[in-house]
Amino acid sequence: MTAETRRSSSAITGPSLLDRYREVRARTEALCGPLAIEDYVVQSMTDASPAKWHLAHTSWFFETFVLEQGEEDYRPFHPRYRYLFNSYYNTVGPMHERPRRGLLTRPTVKEVYAYREHVDRHLAAFLERGHPERIAELHPVIVVGLHHEQQHQELLLTDLKHLLSMNPLRPAYRAGGDAGAERGGPATVPAVDWIEHREGLREIGFGGKGFAYDNETPRHREFVPAFRLADRLVTAGEYLEFMADGGYDRPDLWLSDGWAAVREEGWRAPLYWERVEGTWRRFTLNGLRPVRPGEPVCHVSHYEADAYARWAEARLPTEAEWETAAEGAPILGNFVESERLHPAPLGDRKAVVAGAPGPDPADPRDRPGARLPAQLFGDVWEWTGSPYSPYPGYRPPAGALGEYNGKFMINQMVLRGGSCFTPVSHIRATYRNFFPPRTRWQMAGIRLAQDV
Q: Name the percent of the chain in helix, strand, coil, to the closest 5.
A: 40, 15, 45
Is 326 in contact with 206 (CB distance < 8 Å)?
no
Cα gap 347→339, rounded to integer Å? 17
| 128 burial level (CB within 10 Å; 0-12, 13-18, 19+) | exposed
Q: Distance (Å, rounded) from C-alpha 167 to C-alpha 171?
A: 7
Of residues 336 through 395, those in contact with its own copies by CB under 8 A are: 385-387, 389-390, 392-393
| Pairwise CA distance, residues 350 & 331, whole Å | 15
State which of positions 140-199 bind its own copies (CB under 8 A): 163-164, 166-169, 171
Distance from chain centroid for Cα 282: 20
Q: Which is nearer to its own copies, 330 or 385 (CB)?
A: 385
Size of the site for its own copies (CB under 8 A): 63
Residue from 18, 192, 195, 255 that binds its own copies (CB under 8 A)? 255
Cβ-contact 15, 142 below 8 angstroms? no
Taking the least distance from each CB to its own copies, the nearer of 75 and 80 is 80
The least distance separating its own copies from the CB of residue 139, rounded to whole angstroms, comes to 25
Of residues 38 and 133, the one with the C-beta less far from its own copies: 38
Return the residues of window 77-106 that contact its own copies according to CB under 8 A.
80, 83-84, 88, 90-91, 96, 100, 102-106
Contact indicator for 318, 267 with CB cutoff of 8 Å: no
Does 288 interact with its own copies (rule: CB under 8 A)? no
Are 326 and 449 in contact by the 8 Å Cβ rule? The answer is no
Binding residue for its own copies (CB under 8 A) from 201, 244, 279, 368? 201
Query: What residues numbered 410-439 form the site for its own copies, per CB under 8 A?
Result: 410-411, 413, 437
DSSP 8-state class, residue 317 = P
222 forms part of the interface with its own copies (CB under 8 A): yes
313 binds its own copies (CB under 8 A): no
Per CB under 8 A, 8 contacts its own copies: no
* Kind plus residue range of the DSSP H or E element containing 181: helix 178-181
Q: Is 329 in the site for its own copies (CB under 8 A)?
A: no
Asked if 32 interacts with its own copies (CB under 8 A), we say: no
Report CA-CA distances (Å) from 218 to 137, 328, 392, 395.
22, 19, 7, 9
Contact stretch for its own copies (CB under 8 A) within 56-64, 252-260, 333-341, 427-435: 252-260
Q: How far is CA 178 from CA 47, 279, 341, 379, in A?
A: 27, 19, 10, 16
**CB closer to its own copies out of 237 and 406:** 406
Q: Does 332 bind its own copies (CB under 8 A)?
A: no
Contact status: 39 vs its own copies (CB under 8 A): yes
Judged by the rule CB under 8 A, the positions of this chain that interact with its own copies are 36-42, 44, 52, 80, 83-84, 88, 90-91, 96, 100, 102-109, 163-164, 166-169, 171, 201, 220-223, 225, 251-252, 254-259, 302, 385-387, 389-390, 392-393, 403, 407-411, 413, 437, 451
